[in-house]
Amino acid sequence: SDERIETSATGSVQLVFIDKTTLNIGPNSTLVIDKFVFDPATAQGEMALSLGKGVLRVVGGQATHTGGATIRTPVATIGLRGGMTSVTHSASEGTFALLLFGKLSVSARGKCAPGGAQDADASCAGETQTITRPGYGVTVTAGSSPSTPVKVSAGVIDKMKNAVTSASGQTGGSSVAPNEQDAANNNVGTGTSVVSRLPLGNQVQSSSRLATTNNLAAKITQQGAQITLSNPTLST
């Protein structure tokens, strides 16, 4: 809990948890892992994250399929059940949450009834928008309710994907690139690793999820652009 991650203007990071939940964090981002709880014996767990700024992509594992994941930004509370989402936040543009797969709920933080508390806790959440259609997103700005879900342009989806993809030449600070033997020596991805023994239930393997994501992005691209974001790092 309370692990803080910050990336530079040219940095990015990927975190893979024991339940196979994957976080991809883009440049100029600040993220706090408020809580991650997972019991391999029962495959039950939950996750809570706080995105202060930047770009985040969550590919759900067992924890998000059971207890779900909560992503908080300064203006929104986002709930993910299974599946995948991409979230951006900036002080000027607010929060944008895109559903790639699964179910997403988006509420405004600190939007209370007149005279009510303004401490931005969960009880102060305003109207909630729920997204179940992949390729749709919701925007929340300070002091406003979440927008109606809208179909997102292929260009924005590509930019959000690219924003959390490592650029050419990034090494993660290592002078030697890791290889398959390094992974095997550290029991990562082997038949005896803890992750390989986890019950999958309705969750598909990581490679299958990645293929599904790529296919989904291709289909959305074919459907053409409908909206663009004004954020210069994301707009088409």
pLDDT tens-digit readout, 110-143: 755 454 444 445 445 557 899 999 999 999 998 8
pLDDT tens-digit readout, 29-86: 999 999 998 888 888 888 999 999 999 999 988 888 888 899 999 999 999 987 899 9
Q: Is the pLDDT of residue 99 over 60?
A: yes
| Percent over 70 (pLDDT), the chain | 70
Q: Which residues pair with 98 in a beta bridge?
A: 86, 137
How much is the pLDDT for 212?
46
Q: How many residues does the chain have?
A: 236
Q: Which residues pair with 128 in a beta bridge?
A: 107
Q: Which of 137, 172, 162, 132 is nearest to 151 (CA)?
A: 137
Q: How many Å apart are CA 141 and CA 231, to the nearest integer?
A: 13
